[in-house]
């Protein structure tokens, strides 16, 4: 497995009924990704909220196990610090 760390500011676009939230990257308009709503702190779950998502972009290989893949794609949320 190849991992490439990323740190991107995002904005909440909408919430799915399946416990997922669509966030859009600030740097790449119209590019969204779904993340679990429960990893977003409650005070940041409002539509339009902005925060930083930190994790790894991965390229899997045939020998990679599912547990290893799940661990590698986990993300965390950081609050934006006002300037």
Per-domain residue ranges of the chain: 2-79
2-79 CATH choice from 3.30.70, 2.40.30, 1.10.260, 2.40.50: 2.40.50
CA distances from 60 to 1, 5, 22, 34, 70 (A): 5, 14, 24, 19, 11
pTM of the model: 0.79
Q: Summarize pLDDT for 29-74 with one digit per residue, the tens.
A: 888 889 999 999 999 999 999 999 998 888 888 888 888 887 777 7
Q: Summarize pLDDT for 32-41 with one digit per residue, the tens.
A: 889 999 999 9
21: which residues sit within 8 A by CB, 6+ positions away? 12, 14, 15, 34, 35, 36, 37, 40, 45
Provide the Cα torsion 73, 43, 82, 7; round to 10°. 0
């Amino acid at each position: 497995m190849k991992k490439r760390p990323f740190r991107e500011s995002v904005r909440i676009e909408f919430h799915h009924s399946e416990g997922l939230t669509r966030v859009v990257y600030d740097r790449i308009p119209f590019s969204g990704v779904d993340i679990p709503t429960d990893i977003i702190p409650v005070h940041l779950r409002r539509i339009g909220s902005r925060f930083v998502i930190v994790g790894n972009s991965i390229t899997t290989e045939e020998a990679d196990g599912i547990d290893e893949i799940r661990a590698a794609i986990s993300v965390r949320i950081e609050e934006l610090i006002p300037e």
